[in-house]
Amino acid sequence: MKKAITKTTSPLRIYCDIFGHNYEMTKKVTSHVKEYTCKCCKRQLTTNSNGKLTELTPKYEEINIILADIYTRRMSRLKQESFSSSIY
């Protein structure tokens, strides 16, 4: 016997189903990777390694945190190197 799957539908979710999502960028991880959130239903997406939008799962969230840390360290190191090379 199969169980009936009930899906809770809110008015905002129905709006997104009819008209599409209204995404806004919420976090810029790197120059390539960004996180997006729908203004209506609060669905979160991120760009994957292929540049396509995927659901923001805990796995991708952890990847984005580590990637942002590496990116900020590299950018600060590059700024220090350019500053020290401009002195000489």
Question: Is residue 5 a part of any domain in this protein?
Answer: no
> What's the pLDDT at 82?
75
26: alpha, beta or left? (left if phi > 0; alpha if psi -120 to 50): alpha
Q: Is residue 6 part of a domain?
A: no
Q: Is 36 among the domain residues?
A: yes
Domains held by the chain: number: 1
Read off the pTM. Answer: 0.75
Where residue 6 falls among pLDDT bands split at 50, 70, 90?
very low
Per-residue model confidence (pLDDT) at position 13:
79
The reply to whether 1 falls in a domain is: no
In a domain, 77, yes or no: yes
The answer as to whether 65 is a domain residue is: yes
Q: Which residues span the domain enclosing 66?
A: 11-87
Is residue 23, in this structure, part of any structural domain at all?
yes
Tokens of 81: 């190197």
